Amino acid sequence: MEPSSRPDDERRRPRIVFALMSAVAPVAAVDELAMALAPHTVLVHHDFSQQPDFPLSAPNVVFVPEPMRTGWAVFGFVEGIFHTLRHACRELEFDYLQLLSPSCLPIKSMAHFEAHVGGPEEAHFDCIDLLADRDALMSVGYRAFTPEASLRHRVARRLSMEYFGPEHDRRDEAGIWLRSGGRAGVLPLAARGLVHALSHPAIGRHPFGEDLRPYYGSAWFGARRRVVEALVDEFAKPQLRDYFSRLRIAEEFLLPTLLMQAAGRSRGPSNHYVHRFDEAHAGLLQEQDLNLLREQPAFFARKFPVDVEAPVRRRVIQALCQDDARAAAPPASTRAASPRPLDVHPGERALHAATLGVKRA
C-alpha cells in the first residue's frame, strides 16, 4: 500500500461535515457561515419551495438533493434533518457531523473545534431525562405523550399551564427552557396525576418505556459517524417515525432520545450555546452579549441576526479572522500578545469579514 501523499496536518485533521438546515435565511448569511467553517464540507439542506433563488458561492458547500419541505414546528423539518443525515452517510466521507442553522456562528476557531471532536466522546449534546425531572415532565411531558391534534393533548396542556400558573420560575438549560416550580391546589394535583398517568405506555399509547426512555433538549447536536448512522437506522423504523410525526416540535424529543440510545455515556456537553429563549424561540444575540459569548465553553452560538451587517456578526467574524491568523502564524517570542477571540474593538476594521472571501449578495 502506497503512503498517503497528504501533508501530515491534513492526515491528522478530522473530516467534519456541517449539516446546515436552510429555508428563508439570506444567501449572504449562509455563504458567510459556510466560509467560516472552511475547509470542511457544509452540506446544505435548502427548502427551495420557500426561497427558489439561492445561489451560494462558498466553494465548500454541497447541496442535499431532493430536499424536504420544511418549516418551524412541522415534521418536515425532522424529515429534512434525517434526509440530510442519510445523504451524508451514503455519499460523504466524514468522521464527525455537526448540525447547524443559518442563525448559528462559530465562536471559536476551527482548529479548536477539530481538536475537540478528536476527544473520547462519541457525541455532544445536552438533554434532560423527562421522567426524572419534574419541571420537564410538567412543562413538556404532555407534548411527548400525546399527539398534538388529540383531545388528550389539549386537556393535558391546559392542566400543565394550571400546574405552574402565570407566576412561575424558569430554568434555561440543555438548549431549551422549562417552567419551574408548581402550585398547590386541586387543578395542579390533577395535572400531576394526568401527566404521570400518560407517561405509562399502556395509558399514553406511546413507544416510550424501558427500551426507549424519553429525553428532551435542543436539536443542534454533533456526533461521530457511528452515532449518526445509528440515528438514521432508528428513524427508518415506520412505527417510531409515525408516532413522532404527530408530536409538537418533535425534534426536541426525537433527537435527544435517539442520541441517548446511540451514544449513552459516551457523550459530552453540547457544542452550542443557545441564547435565552423568548417563549418558543431562542433569543437574538446582540453586540452587548459579546462578553457572555467570551465566557462560553461552547464552539458555536445561536441565535445571531441573519443580516450580515449586524454589528454582533461583524465582531464575531472579525475575531475568528484574528484567531485563524494567530493559529497560522509561526511562533515568535518577540511578537506582542494578541487579544483573545471576540476581543475586537468596534473601531478595528482591518480584519473585515472579506478576509474570509465572503461575497455580498
Instruction: List beta partners, residue 99.
Output: 19
- The band of 264, judged by pLDDT with boundaries at 50, 70 and 90, is confident
pLDDT of 357 over the 50 cut: no
The whole-number pLDDT of residue 54 equals: 96
The whole-number pLDDT of residue 287 equals: 93
Shared domain check, 78 and 56: yes
Shared domain check, 64 and 28: yes
Q: Is 319 domain-assigned?
A: no
* 130 close to 215: Cβ distance less than 8 angstroms: yes
Instruction: List beta partners, residue 238.
Output: none
* 175 close to 126: Cβ distance less than 8 angstroms: yes
Shared domain check, 161 and 90: no
The predicted-structure confidence for 111-160, as pLDDT tens digits, reads as follows 999 999 999 999 999 999 999 999 999 999 999 999 999 999 999 999 99
Split into its structural domains, the chain has a count of: 2
Q: Is 346 domain-assigned?
A: no
- Domain closes at, from 159, 189, 204: 204
What pTM did the predictor assign? Answer: 0.87
- Domain closes at, from 253, 285, 302: 302
Distance separating alpha carbons of residues 319 and 309, to the nearest angstrom? 15
Q: Is 75 domain-assigned?
A: yes
Q: Whole domain around residue 69: which residue ranges? A: 12-119+271-302
Cell of 252: 426536541
Shared domain check, 140 and 115: no
Shared domain check, 132 and 114: no
Shared domain check, 148 and 61: no
Shared domain check, 24 and 90: yes
- The band of 241, judged by pLDDT with boundaries at 50, 70 and 90, is very high
Distance separating alpha carbons of residues 205 and 5, to the nearest angstrom? 57
Return all residues near 212 (Cβ < 8 A) that are at least 6 apart.
257, 261
Q: Is 321 domain-assigned?
A: no
* 45 close to 67: Cβ distance less than 8 angstroms: yes
- Reported as half-sphere exposure (CB side, CA atoms, 13 A), residue 72 has a value of 5
Mean pLDDT of the chain: 88
Q: Is 328 domain-assigned?
A: no
The whole-number pLDDT of residue 345 equals: 37
Buried b (16+ CB within 10 A) or exposed e, 103-113: bbbbbbbbeeb
The whole-number pLDDT of residue 327 equals: 64
Shared domain check, 138 and 78: no
Q: Is 318 domain-assigned?
A: no
- Domain closes at, from 302, 323, 345: 302
Backbone CA torsion sign across 96, 119, 266, 179:
negative
Amino acid identity of residue 36, one-letter, is A
Q: Is 307 domain-assigned?
A: no
